[in-house]
Chain A
Amino acid sequence: MKKYLAFFRLRFSMGLQYRAAALGGLVCQFFWGAMAILAFKAFYDTDSAAFPMSLPAMSSYIWLQQALLTLLSMMGIDNEFFNVIENGNVAYELCRPVNVYGMWFTRSAATRVSNALLRCIPVLIVTALIPAPYGLMAPPDLFTFLAFLVSLTFALAVITAMGMIVYMITFHTITPRGVRLIAVNICDFFSGGIIPLPFFPEGFRQFTELLPFSATANVPLRIYSGDLQGPEMVKLMLLQVFWAAALILAGKLIERKELTRVTIQGG
């Protein structure tokens, strides 16, 4: 456990080094969030009866999504391991007397947390100051906020485990180009990155909620905005736990198979 903590700390302080890049990212996120909210607002003005969330809940969803982008989306996947697989340095990783899965899992989770901590605080502060219904609202009550935090942890486990499977596939294809982007697209769409899941057609939404992708950003963001409550919330959180366990198990199984025949690229 201690060595994993050390990996976590190291990665965390490395991530905090790139402040200028983070600032550029912030500008993008504000613009992106504002445009998305304006577009949804246009739909709301056209036909408010068909709008499945309340307007403030939708704004909170979008801002929180932007704030936690590197934490919860496939886009936040740590590119270092792709490079390592492609240029052959993976040999060094395999030499270490630690389990590769555990080591990479903690390191990529740490990258996500450090990137997100740096980026989310300014976004959260500024968007909380924007007046309703466009700004980030406070969570409805303390219990909702605690449920949000728990679900956030589960979501981090699921997305990191999913990222591990993408790495394992890259062991096979060597180049991450294509594979990475396909994973980003699929995960982004089914986790409510393009439009939140409540906007999906009935039936298709219920199907999507069972997939592992929706066990990532979808659940915590909708809990925070008050869209997800009661037994429905408990059900989706239990699904998160199930998917986290299933994906970690699947990842470990693939790891065992892939690592028996790794090809090292380069010298």
Chain B
Amino acid sequence: MLKLYGKYFAIHLKSAMQFKGSFFTSLIAQFLTSFSVFLGISFMFQRFHRVADFTYEQVLLCYGIMLMGFSMAQLFASGFKVFDSMIANGQFDRILCRPRNEIFQVLAHRIDFVRLGMLFQAIVMLIYGLCACHVDWNFLRVLTVILMILGGFILFSALFLLDGSIAFFTLQGLEFMNVFTYGAIEHGKYPIAIYGKEMLTFCTFVVPYALVQYYPLTYVLSRSEQLWYIFLPLAACLFAVPCWVLWRIGVHKYKSTGS
């Protein structure tokens, strides 16, 4: 399976390199998307110096971690984002005919290399945040950051999967799903607690953004001594289960639409 994915990877890379001009302008565009948000944060902090009790460096660390998970999900799981068109043009029928898992095939269908522009921005902010935050780094704190990034990656991928699964029932992507992906990355730049208690509750129990962002972050910044906060990102991965179930129901009920 991994070998086959490697093959797909090489093919996507080759095809992206066929249109170098277009590829690099898109890369720059992706970078600008997250860079303008970063500039906005910088301007706000020049004026205010802190928000609630988070400093500029801490917010950049928070945004860096979130953006890293999000851009990785965009890079590897964006097949689900075009899934409605795969149903509409009958491509999914072809996928069902092949002797491989269909989720694997949808994932391999699209690897969106232009997202590297956003990933680059995420890496720079993450490194800056890691260095500038005055955190006494030890094994557990590093582990927490890694789990946060991984948890974010899985959570956003699960949201893309959910978006794709809904297309089984509506035959068209739903625009409001963007709130949970693009909206979450736009507003997840600040620790979720600043949006108030209700929002924090929502982001803990309904869509668990806070489990990969706010709670583990308080542990990394030594605001909380709760050791179990380290493993909350793993709990957030459970969000993928209902999404997967919905996907299975969708595949089970699937009737071909097209030509």
**Residues of A bordering B, CB below 8 Å:** 21, 24-25, 27-28, 31-32, 35-36, 38-39, 42-43, 45-47, 50, 52, 173, 175, 177-182, 185-186, 188-189, 194-195, 199-201
Contact = CB atoms under 8 A, between A and B. Distances in A.
Contacts of B36: 185-186, 188-189, 194
B48 A39 contact: no
9 contacts: A35-B183, A42-B194, A46-B50, A177-B22, A178-B26, A180-B29, A181-B26, A194-B39, A195-B44
A185 B183 CA distance: 16
A27 B37 contact: no
A246 B200 CA distance: 48
Size category of the B interface is 35 or more
Given A31-B183, A35-B183, A200-B43, 15 more contacts: A21-B175, A27-B176, A27-B179, A28-B179, A35-B186, A39-B195, A45-B52, A175-B22, A178-B24, A178-B25, A178-B26, A178-B27, A189-B39, A201-B46, A201-B47
Given A43-B48, A46-B52, A195-B40, A32 B179 contact: yes
B99 interface: no
Interface in B153-190: 174-176, 178-179, 183, 186-187, 190
A27 B46 CA distance: 32
Nearest to A194: B40
A109 B102 CA distance: 43
A32 B180 CA distance: 10
Nearest to A47: B48
B52 A42 contact: yes
Nearest first, the 8 A-B pairs at minimum CB distance are A178-B25, A24-B175, A181-B29, A178-B26, A42-B194, A194-B40, A185-B32, A27-B176
- Tell me what chain B mostly uses at the interface: helix, strand, loop, or mixed: helix
B222 interface: no
Nearest to B25: A178
A42 B174 contact: no
Interface of B: 19, 21-22, 24-30, 32-33, 36-37, 39-40, 43-44, 46-52, 114, 174-176, 178-179, 183, 186-187, 190, 194-196, 199
Given A189-B36, A194-B40, A199-B44, A39 B178 contact: no
Contact of B19 (A25, A43, A175, A189): A175
Nearest to B45: A43
A36 B186 CA distance: 9
B227 to A, nearest CB: 28
A130 B209 CA distance: 27
Contacts of A27: 175-176, 179
Contacts of B196: 38
Contacts of A186: 32, 36
Contacts of B33: 181, 185
Nearest to B187: A35
B176 A199 contact: no
Given A25-B175, A46-B52, A186-B32, A177 B26 contact: yes
A31 B199 CA distance: 11
Nearest to B176: A27
B43 A39 contact: no
Contacts of B29: 178-182, 185
Nearest to B32: A185
